[in-house]
Structure 1
């Protein structure tokens, strides 16, 4: 049975006050709701407010959340699986995880697909899976778990580094447009006139019809073209050395983290690369 706001406040006021503020950090916990159903979003917002949480955004599209995530930086995310736009909730959270974000995620869905539930826990590291319609006791349990983990992590931090702004690159993959964080890219190579291959730090790679010029236009200065048909992420460069086995070769090879593959470096660009690496480190 659904619970009214009056009943929620009356029966759980003491619990609500206990969660209202993170006194050690001096501010309330923030929540971003990613939900395409208006009324479901309003219910979650009401539950959050009654629990002393500060709702900073209600968004219906995964793409929109990725675009403004660095501005929001919520403590907790409530994410529906089915969303408006090209990204579902699972793909959106996967993109955030690939970018290195580890905010607490509570999945909210009416799905009966067990694969979605298992993916939420095992692949995304979700704290909780709330089935619709969301009932207050389950919501409370999920929030308690999220806050307990946040407080534990904060107590273990001596000095948290300031999060680096993530650069998102949108590429065409078959009929979809997918956002990829620049940090997750090792290098990109041109396969033929129509395709590029993107190599990721987790060992995966994907093909895209977006050309290198359009990709580079979306990148930060940390993406560099060392040789015709290649882009390399300077953050993952370990070293470079002259190509061995070919005495007459004027080409160098770039060594990267996370892969045994070497990326070619033009001799004419050797000094440029050295300068960029020095500035980066």
Structure 2
């Protein structure tokens, strides 16, 4: 029986991938992608945007399954995730449930009855959410920016970034649209070099995403001030704008609008 839900499988073992595809077909699901590399999956995600993601923890390439789902969650994607792994690492399992908001953890070898139970639970959650509210639009075509997060390299969708501020010589703080913040050892120039022109440096020590700018005004309370301040969606924080950059900023903002 077809359910009308799409599935992407990220699995670096060919035979396990084929088994999961067969299970999906038996459950009436449409498999739209099977890939083994996490970075490749992130690049393709905008074209896929599956309802359900079957994610292996151990993958080919630089990113493991946990890092891939973290990147998607930080970038605002809310697909349902079923983690699939042969790990007995308790930390990985707890991370899958508490940090990644996965609905199920399937241990390898994956048996059909447990797979069916995971799918039933996942579909029930999707249907419940759809009955409560109309679906919010998914983020648009993503430009992925890779930042250093502790000892790993973590991709983040540019659209998900609200602004970035330099904390000290070694750390930057990235503020995200969903209210989350993360420290990164990537400096502002590294982030800017990977970005589209929508990321702009309005003042020393800051980057701002023009997509999320509401307005900018002359700094109040200081009659002699040469600065402006930028108002953003999703936050009450005001970002400084140099007077020397005001005209360039206004032009770019108009192009975005």
Q: Name the TM-score, length of structure 2 as normaliser.
A: 0.84
**Is the alpha carbon distance of 1:259 and 1:154 closer, same or farther for their aligned partners in structure 2, counting shifts above 3 Å?**
closer
**Is the alpha carbon distance of 1:162 and 1:102 closer, same or farther for their aligned partners in structure 2, counting shifts above 3 Å?**
closer
TM superposition shift of 1:70: 0.6
Secondary structure of the structure 2 residue equivalent to 1:126: coil
User: Unaligned stretches of 5+ in structure 1?
Assistant: 1-17, 23-27
**Equivalent residue number for residue 76 of structure 1:** 52
TM superposition shift of 1:280: 4.3
TM superposition shift of 1:133: 1.2
Residues 8, 52 of structure 2: 8 Å contact kept: yes
**Equivalent residue number for residue 40 of structure 2:** 64
Residues 148, 185 of structure 2: 8 Å contact kept: yes
Residues 11, 56 of structure 2: 8 Å contact kept: yes
Please tell me the root mean square deviation across aligned C-alpha atoms, in Å.
2.8
How many residues of Structure 1 are paired with residues of Structure 2 in the alignment? 255
**Equivalent residue number for residue 206 of structure 1:** 183
What is the 5 A alignment of 1:159-198? Answer: 161=137, 163-173=139-149, 176-189=152-165, 195=170, 197-198=172-173
Distance 1:87 1:274 in 2: 38
Secondary structure of the structure 2 residue equivalent to 1:232: strand
- Do residues 264 (structure 1) and 240 (structure 2) align? yes
**Equivalent residue number for residue 29 of structure 1:** 5
**Equivalent residue number for residue 211 of structure 2:** 235
**Is the alpha carbon distance of 1:160 and 1:179 closer, same or farther for their aligned partners in structure 2, counting shifts above 3 Å?**
closer
**Is the alpha carbon distance of 1:160 and 1:188 closer, same or farther for their aligned partners in structure 2, counting shifts above 3 Å?**
closer
What is the 5 A alignment of 1:28-177? Answer: 28-156=4-132, 158=134, 161=137, 163-173=139-149, 176-177=152-153
Q: Which moved more, 1:83-92 or 1:158-167?
A: 158-167
**Is the alpha carbon distance of 1:153 and 1:223 closer, same or farther for their aligned partners in structure 2, counting shifts above 3 Å?**
same
Distance 1:210 1:166 in 2: 21
Distance 1:272 1:206 in 2: 29
> Which 4+ stretches in 1 moved above 6 angstroms?
none
Structure of larger gyration radius: 1
**Is the alpha carbon distance of 1:35 and 1:186 closer, same or farther for their aligned partners in structure 2, counting shifts above 3 Å?**
same
Residues 203, 259 of structure 1: 8 Å contact kept: no
TM superposition shift of 1:155: 4.2
